[in-house]
Structure 1
C-alpha cells in the first residue's frame, strides 16, 4: 500500500523527511543554505522545522515508534 493512501505511513514519511533534513543540515550546513527558493527550498524548510521544533519532533518520533511496535 502506498504511503499516500495510509495516513499513518504518510505521517511516518513526513516525520522521517524532517528528521533527515535536520540531520543533513547539521552535518553539512553549506549544502542547504545555498538553495532557499524553488524545489530545493522544501529541504531547507523541513530542516528549519526540525531545528526549531526539535522537542515536538522527537516526541512524535517516540510516539510513532511505539505505535509501530504495538500495531
Structure 2
C-alpha cells in the first residue's frame, strides 16, 4: 500500500521530511538557504517548520513511534 493512501504512513513521511530537512539545515545552512523558491524550497520550508515547532514535532515523533510500536 502506498503512503498516499495510508494516513499514518503519510504522517510518518511528513515527519521524516521535516526532521531530515531540519538536520541538513543545521549541518549545511547554505544549501537550503540559497534554494528558498521553487521545488527545493519545500525542504527549506520544512526546515523552518522543524526549527520553529521543534517541541511539537518531537512530541509527534514520539507519538508516532509509540503507535507503531504498539501496532495501531
Name the Cα RMSD after superposition. Answer: 0.4
- 4+ residue stretches of structure 1 with deviation over 3 A? none
1:35 is aligned to 2:38: no
Aligned residues: 71
CA distance in 1, matches of 2:16, 2:60: 10
The C-alpha deviation readout for 1:4-34, integer Å capped at 9, x for no partner, is 0000000000000000000000011111000
Counterpart of 1:4 in structure 2 is: 4
Question: Which residues of structure 1 form unaligned runs of 5+?
Answer: none
What is the TM-score normalised by the length of structure 2? 0.97
Question: Which residues of structure 2 form unaligned runs of 5+?
Answer: none
Counterpart of 1:19 in structure 2 is: 19
What is the TM-score normalised by the length of structure 1? 0.98
CA distance in 2, matches of 1:67, 1:4: 19
